Amino acid sequence: MADPKDARRARAEAHFKQPPADTAGPGRSAYDAEAAAREENTERLKRLRLAKEESLREAIAVNKARRGLKTR
């Protein structure tokens, strides 16, 4: 008969062992889809922030040009 410590260790390893990605099942693919959606959303927000900053820079440049025309 196997040593109780070895049996306990084997059960613990079997419980915590991660299955390979190809046999992970639907839960894993849902997790991957959520991670991909999160990454896509992060990229979208980054693009929006950069576009907003560019728009603000353009507005500042226009206002400076207008102020320059008023003082002439």
Cα–Cα distance, 52 to 66 (Å, whole number): 21
pLDDT digits (tens, 9 = 90+) for 8-36: 888 888 777 766 555 556 666 778 888 89
Cα–Cα distance, 38 to 44 (Å, whole number): 10
Answer yes or no: is 60 within a domain. Answer: yes
Q: Is residue 47 scored above 90 in pLDDT? A: yes
Answer yes or no: is 1 within a domain. Answer: no
Residue 2 pLDDT: 66
- In this prediction the pTM is 0.51
**What domain range includes position 47?**
27-72
At which residue do the structure tokens 């008023």 appear?
70
Tally of domains in the chain = 1
Q: Is residue 5 scored above 60 in pLDDT? A: yes
Distance from chain centroid for Cα 18 = 22
Answer yes or no: is 7 within a domain. Answer: no
Q: Which residues contact 28 (CB under 8 A, 6 or more apart)?
A: 19, 21
Answer yes or no: is 51 within a domain. Answer: yes
Answer yes or no: is 14 within a domain. Answer: no
Higher pLDDT, 57 or 72: 57
